Amino acid sequence: NAGVTQTPKFRILKIGQSMTLQCTQDMNHNYMYWYRQDPGMGLKLIYYSVGAGITDKGEVPNGYNVSRSTTEDFPLRLELAAPSQTSVYFCASRTSGTSFGANVLTFGAGSRLTVL
Amino acid sequence: KNEVEQSPQNLTAQEGEFITINCSYSVGISALHWLQQHPGGGIVSLFMLSSGKKKHGRLIATINIQEKHSSLHITASHPRDSAVYICAVNGETSGSRLTFGEGTQLTVNP
């Protein structure tokens, strides 16, 4: 199993450009999350999804959009990139329930985005 | 005031020392998570607990629900334990969302 795969690992954008961060998981997890981590700060939730076709805003959703057309994929779209979106982005997933390993988060390796 | 507070923010120890990292939270929770972020940036889940104590190798996590407090202990610390340790909670009213502490930077010197 690959776990949670994020691409790209690094990207430099110019102000006003758009891009999509890809996130795929092969564990059949129903919950998926996008976080950003600014230097010296804790993880902040951007968007999350509790299953295919269902998404909801987190703490810092402005400037981002998501979709969840399949259980496996949860892409994060940045429209009109701004320097304030320079950050490291993490995708994570988990299942729910009471079975062993349920509710434990699995993280992707992160995507470092710089907006100049 | 953050819902999740960790202490200390930074911790330096000598190899072999017993280490304790603390996490206090201000809301009712259904679960608490301890995560480790490696120097390269990757994040792994260490523990998820809602009561009592869990142990995995040299790592021990405890939680006191009444006092809204959790501790992460590392016995016989080693330089490879150097990382950022993050506490996160599932609030009772926040559904599937987690609230994260800002992390504790641990450095273990040989």
**Cα B23 to Cα B85, B89, B96, distances in angstroms:** 10, 10, 20
The whole-number pLDDT of residue A1 equals 61
Is pLDDT of A97 > 90?
no
d(CA B49, CA B90): 10
Q: Which residues pair with B44 in a beta bridge?
A: B36
Q: Which residue of B has its CA nearest to A107?
A: B43
The pLDDT confidence band at residue B45, using thresholds 50, 70 and 90, is very high
The whole-number pLDDT of residue A2 equals 74
The pLDDT confidence band at residue B15, using thresholds 50, 70 and 90, is very high
Is pLDDT of B71 > 90?
yes
CA atoms within 13 A on the CB side of A102: 8
Q: What are phi and psi of B100, to 5 degrees?
A: -105, 145
The pLDDT confidence band at residue A103, using thresholds 50, 70 and 90, is confident
What is the arithmetic mean of pLDDT over B17-31?
Answer: 94
- The chain-wide mean pLDDT, for chain B, equals 92
State the residue for tokens 């993280």.
A107
> Do B102 and A50 lie within an 8 Å CB cutoff?
no
The pLDDT confidence band at residue A109, using thresholds 50, 70 and 90, is very high
Q: Is A67 exposed, middle or buried (0-12, 13-18, 19+ CB in 10 A)?
A: middle
Compute the C-alpha angle B71/A92/B34, nearest 5°.
Answer: 5
pLDDT tens track for A32-72: 999 999 987 889 999 999 999 999 999 999 999 999 999 99
Check: CB of residue B29 under 8 Å from CB of residue B82.
no
One-letter amino acid of A38: D
**Of the ranges A90-99, A105-114, B18-27, which one carries the lowest mean pLDDT score?**
A90-99
pLDDT tens track for A9-32: 999 999 999 999 999 999 999 999
Is pLDDT of B30 > 90?
no
Residues in B closer than 8 angstroms to A44, CB to CB, are 100
Task: Give the closest-approach CA distance of B94 to chain A in angstroms.
Answer: 11
**B60 Cβ contact partners less than 8 Å away, ≥ 6 residues apart:** B53, B54, B72, B73, B74, B75
> Do A103 and B31 lie within an 8 Å CB cutoff?
yes
Is pLDDT of B75 > 70?
yes
d(CA B29, CA A18): 38
Two tokens at B29? Answer: 């929770």
Q: What does the DSSP assignment read for A37-65?
A: E-TTS-EEEEEEEEETTEEEE-S--TTEE
Residues in B closer than 8 angstroms to A109, CB to CB, are 41-42
The whole-number pLDDT of residue B1 equals 60
Which among A43, A88, A103 has CB closest to B48? A103
- The chain-wide mean pLDDT, for chain A, equals 92
